[in-house]
Structure 1
Amino acid sequence: MNWVEAIGYAGTVLTVASSAMSTMIPLRIVALTASCVVITYGLMIGSMPVVLTEMIQIPFNAWRLFQMVRLVKDVEKAASGDLALDWLKPFGKARQFKAGQVIFRMGDEASEMFTIESGRFRIPEHDVDLGPGDVVGELGMLAPDNRRTGSLVCIESGHALCLAYSEVKQLYYQNPEFGFYFLKLTSERLFQHAGRSAASVPADAV
């Protein structure tokens, strides 16, 4: 076996290794490395189809790597800072709600979370009003029975960004680091809400 064949085999090994990986960032890094090695091999043997195939894959793998690295950084920043969930926007779907519409009821099975972009919403059981920038429904994913702990009613027409729990779980499986920071972020938000609720209870009611 000469050194040209060795490069070809190295590209094959890296390609197979990337296919066997389950976490997104290492997978994309190895896939990009494999493409570079295979391109080198393709040029050496004069096979343009091999070169073109890998050149087409490089932009896709590079973009997905960029997205995941940025996602992890954004959720890490949110978990240690303002607790905002703006980083979810690229993964959500915008929906419009009309005044009086019940989005979900207490006890319903939870399958998605919402980031309010406009309008006003209310959780009647907890006497909580929500507006642009507020997030609701994320704790249902962590509840043992995945049930809603309150209802959500639209009291002024607006839009909300909806993100399915399945999408969040997929992001977690692709990168456990994302899952760690998302759990930390959700826990911080839970403690924050609990603190606000405690502060709103009159002293003579304790």
Structure 2
Amino acid sequence: MQAALESPSELFAILSVVVAAAFVLVSSFVKTMIPLRWLAIGSNVGFVAYGALHPSYPMLLLHATLLPLNFFRLAEMKRLTRRVEAVRAEGELSSVWLRPYMRAAKMRKGAVLFHQGDIGDRLYMLADGRIELVETGGSLAPGQIFGEIAFFSPDRRRRLTARCAEPCTVLSIDESTVKQLYYQNPAFGFKMIELVASRFAADVDRVNADLAKVRAERDQLAAKLAESD
């Protein structure tokens, strides 16, 4: 310690590794990606300084390699956030929000995008054509987003089978990118929750309508039976 205090370079090396270790410790409590990348960059700089001044060449080589990688990932995340902010004014979770991150695919009639019970790993939007929901007999029109329920369900399973009722153009985005958008932009997260809530509300309305229809038919049948008596 006395030698370190007498040597400015040794003192700077010790301070660098202490600060780097502190960044690593703080990163254990951070949940979002951009602050994590900044902390990783700070710790890389500290360990590079320590490795160069102490010297410790394996540490220097490791963190000198990780530093540009962390800068690249940080720039990537910032670009992603800026792209979301650029379309935020639209206020709708639609193609305006998601199209920059989606890939298009042409699907033939009868092609199945996913089966009931499959693990959900992609979010979809129908650009052209018509998608049939096999179990309910419903269908989706161009512009509709689907496949998001699996991302929020505990088992991540598909609840329905989606099949092309005619030739379709389908856009899709992978789960990893959806999660990045969700965690990095609260507005996007709320729009996703609104979409899921609207799906459940529509399901409840459909069930209530079916129940009302069954009750009406039951009442009509009961009235006819009463008249026959």
TM-score range, shorter chain: 0.5 to 0.7
Larger-gyration structure (1/2): 2
- Structure 1 residues 78 and 148: alpha-carbon distance in aligned structure 2, compared to 1, 3 A threshold: farther
- Amino acid in the other structure paired with 2:192: T
Q: Give the match for residue 190 of structure 2.
A: 184
Q: Give the match for residue 15 of structure 2.
A: 7
* Alignment partners' CA distance in 2, 1:104 and 1:10: 51
5+ residue gaps in structure 2?
Answer: 6-10, 206-229
Work out whether 1:62 is the aligned partner of 2:68.
Answer: no
Q: How far is the alpha carbon of 1:122 from its aligned partner?
A: 1.5
Equivalent pairs, count: 187
Q: Contact conserved, 1:14 with 1:33, CA < 8 A, in 2?
A: no
Q: How far is the alpha carbon of 1:40 from its aligned partner?
A: 2.7
Q: How far is the alpha carbon of 1:177 from its aligned partner?
A: 4.5
Instruction: Select the residue among 33, 36, 41 that pairs with 2:42.
Output: 33
Q: Say which SS state the counterpart of residue 85 (structure 1) adopts.
A: helix
Work out whether 1:129 is the aligned partner of 2:137.
Answer: no
> Under a length normalisation based on structure 2, what TM-score does the superposition of the two structures give?
0.58
- Structure 1 residues 170 and 139: alpha-carbon distance in aligned structure 2, compared to 1, 3 A threshold: closer
Q: What do residues 69-95 of structure 1 show as CA deviations (whole Å, max 9, x unaligned)?
A: 343454455486242223544xxx776
State the structure with bigger RCO (CA 8 A, min sep 6), 1 or 2: 1
Q: Say which SS state the counterpart of residue 100 (structure 1) adopts.
A: coil
Q: Contact conserved, 1:7 with 1:38, CA < 8 A, in 2?
A: no
Q: Give the match for residue 98 of structure 2.
A: 85
> Under a length normalisation based on structure 1, what TM-score does the superposition of the two structures give?
0.63
Instruction: Select the residue among 16, 35, 38 that pairs with 2:24.
Output: 16
Work out whether 1:163 is the aligned partner of 2:182.
Answer: no
Coordinate RMSD, CA, aligned: 4.1
